[in-house]
Amino acid sequence: MTVGEAAARSTTPGRKGRKPEPDPVLLSRRGGPAERFAGAVGDRHPIVVFLLAVLSGFLLLAVASVLLALLIVHGLASDGGLGLNDTDSSPIEFLAEHRTGTLNTISEIGTEAGGAPVLPIVVGLIGIGFAIARRWAIAAFAVFVLTVESATYKLTSTLVPRDRPAVPRLEDLPADASYPSGHTAAAVAVYAGLVLLLSARLTGSLRKALCWTGVVLMVSFVALSRMYRGMHHPLDVLGGALLGVGAILVLLFACRAAEAAAERRRS
């Protein structure tokens, strides 16, 4: 499907009371993976297709995340591998040596911005708001992108434990759950995911650039805060960012598959 066709489908007015058309970024491409998936599961309700796509995507993401964790924890950052553990710890030691009361407070704000209760409240409000507006795809995206990210993070950190940096930590959390950074992953999944949906409706390049600049700054703030507080190494943050991107891709695929299933039923 071309961009013009997608825009037309999302903006063409319908009958009064008709369900709003999906956002352009959530439209499936004709003959694409999402449409093929919807066809493979048969003539099922779009909600069922969505849930099956989320489950399938989660399983693939979890396997990829665990394999990457094994590569980093037992390969790149292990003493018997490339030996990057010292290099990965040096920035954290530097940050710990330059802590101040003001920076401690700022890092706490960054931590709150990438974790509970802020993000659950954000996705909850967005989910409720768009459900009331009958924008079911956006509501589902907001709620499930955080769910997929959190479940994958928990599974990965449990199966592939890594010790946190050997510096005084400013939080009392499990000492062997360093990889990946769950706060960084959640920040990417929620903030970048929602801006992706928003920027698809923006027409000006400057507005899009400002939105994405804000996302980069927010995610960087969260990641740096987690490292400053002695909770993660740089490689943990990188793994968290990749996990957040993966969660976004899973939900994009699931929403597009559900839209393709709905289109099949309408046809």
For residue 260, give the nearest of 46, 78, 70 by alpha carbon. Answer: 46
| Least confident stretch, 11-20, 39-48, 136-145 | 11-20
The tokens 């706060």 sit on which residue?
A: 183
> In the prediction, which pLDDT does 1 show?
44
pLDDT, greater one: 22 or 215: 215
Kindly report the pTM of this predicted structure: 0.89
71-72-74 Cα angle (round to 5) = 70
> In the prediction, which pLDDT does 203 show?
79
For residue 263, give the nearest of 16, 15, 39 by alpha carbon. Answer: 39
Question: What would the pLDDT profile of 190-219 be if each residue is shown by its tens digit?
Answer: 999 999 998 878 878 898 999 999 999 999
One-character DSSP codes across 151-207: HHHHHHHHHS-BPPPSS--SS---TTB-SS-HHHHHHIIIIIHHHHHHHTT---HHH
Q: Which CATH class is domain 25-266?
A: mainly alpha
- Residue ranges covered by each domain of the chain: 25-266
Rg (CA), the chain: 20
- DSSP code of residue 99: -
Cα dist. 154→32, 66, 149, 163, 219 in Å? 31, 11, 9, 15, 20
pLDDT, greater one: 202 or 112: 112
Contacts of 24 (CB under 8 A, 6+ apart): 3, 6, 7, 10, 200, 201
